[in-house]
């Protein structure tokens, strides 16, 4: 079966590379956070997600965040939660689909 070449714009390629780099950095941060046992407070989670502290508390109340350990979240839990849900810090950004040429 012959392979079908794809056409991709420079902007699409840039977005794909940026996503791949971001994912690699997030995996490294997750490994580091798990190893250090770092913890985040409400302000830390809010800053990471790009939302207000009040929004973080609302999200927690709706069960949308991982459980806290006492008054703080484990950083690794928050990073894993965000990664599992493909939530980007400061709002989601999606690349347009790649068009295959025929």
CA distances from 39 to 43, 58, 65, 86 (A): 11, 20, 14, 21
Residues in the chain with pLDDT values less than 50: 91-102
pTM over cut 0.85: no
7 belongs to a structural domain? no
Evaluate whether 33 touches 66 at the Cβ level (below 8 Å): no
Evaluate whether 78 touches 65 at the Cβ level (below 8 Å): yes
pLDDT at 5: 83
Q: What torsion, rounded to 10 degrees, do the Cα atoms 57, 65, 16, 10 define?
A: -20
59 belongs to a structural domain? yes
Q: Say how many domains are in the chain.
A: 1
pLDDT at 33: 63
pLDDT at 6: 83
Region for 70 from its dihedrals, namely left if φ exceeds 0, alpha if ψ lies in -120 to 50, beta otherwise: left
pLDDT at 30: 67
pLDDT at 92: 40
78 belongs to a structural domain? yes
**Can you read off the two tokens belonging to residue 15?**
């977005």
pLDDT at 100: 42
6 belongs to a structural domain? no
Range of the domain at 29: 20-87
Q: What are residue 59's DSSP bridge partners?
A: none
pLDDT at 7: 87
């Amino acid at each position: 079966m012959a392979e079908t070449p794809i056409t991709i714009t420079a902007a699409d390629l840039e977005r794909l590379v940026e996503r791949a780099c971001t994912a690699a950095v997030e995996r490294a941060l997750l490994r580091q956070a798990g190893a250090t046992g770092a913890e985040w407070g409400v302000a830390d989670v809010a800053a990471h997600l790009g939302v207000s502290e009040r929004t973080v508390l609302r999200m927690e109340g709706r069960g949308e965040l991982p459980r806290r350990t006492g008054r703080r979240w484990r950083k690794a839990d928050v990073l894993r939660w965000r990664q599992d849900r493909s939530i980007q810090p400061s709002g989601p950004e999606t690349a347009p689909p790649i068009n295959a040429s025929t």
